[in-house]
Amino acid sequence: MFFAGSPARPCPGQRPVPQKFTLLSPIVVEVLDCSSQRANRPPNENEVVLDKADGMDRPTFCKCDCIYAVPRDELKKHRGTVAVERRRQIVRAIIISHGWNALYTAG
């Protein structure tokens, strides 16, 4: 799901998530930074373009190189649900931008 009005956090996070929150906690969710600037260039390796199929008004860059932990109650306006194929692209971009693909190619 994509929400508008998500608070921006510097990566790796200037404001730490309280210890009572864990990544498995239903009150904290992981989000990516999506820019509402017009996507008038091809996406970088760490980006995926979301569009109307994902609830965006226009093509929007989703940066996959930093994952933020945000309290669920700080998310404001539900914009849409990211299409399954786009989710696959996001997972690939996260893996590549963090260098985790090297774990599979190192031998």
In tens, the pLDDT along 21-46 reads 455 556 888 889 888 777 678 888 89
Q: How many Å apart are CA 56 and CA 67, to the nearest integer? A: 20
- Whole-prediction pTM: 0.69
The region that residue 101 occupies, defined by phi over 0 for left and psi between -120 and 50 for alpha, beta otherwise, is alpha
2-105 maps to which CATH number?
2.30.30.110
**CA separation (Å) from 21 to 9, 13, 31, 85?**
16, 14, 15, 30
pLDDT tens track for 40-81: 788 888 999 998 899 888 888 999 998 888 888 888 888 888
CA 82 to chain centre: 11
